[in-house]
Amino acid sequence: MRVVHWHFHCSECGTGDFELGYLADDRQFFCEVCIEDGRGLIRLERWPADEEYPAYDRWRPGLAA
- Residue 23 in domain: yes
pLDDT > 80? residue 6: yes
Mean local confidence (pLDDT), 11-27: 93
pTM over 0.85: no
Q: Is the dihedral of CA 52, 5, 64, 9 positive or negative?
A: positive
Asked whether residue 50 is domain-assigned, the answer is yes
Q: Does a structural domain hold residue 1? A: no
What pLDDT was estimated at residue 1?
Answer: 60
Q: Is residue 38 part of a domain?
A: yes
Q: How many structural domains does the chain have?
A: 1
Q: Is residue 56 part of a domain?
A: yes
Residue 41 belongs to domain spanning: 6-63
Sign of the CA dihedral with 65 first, then 62, 29, and 3 last: positive
Which residues contact residue 4 at a Cβ distance below 8 angstroms, ignoring those fewer than 6 apart?
25, 26, 48, 49, 50
- Of 40 and 2, the structure prediction assigns the larger pLDDT to 40
The pLDDT score that the predictor gives to residue 50 is: 76
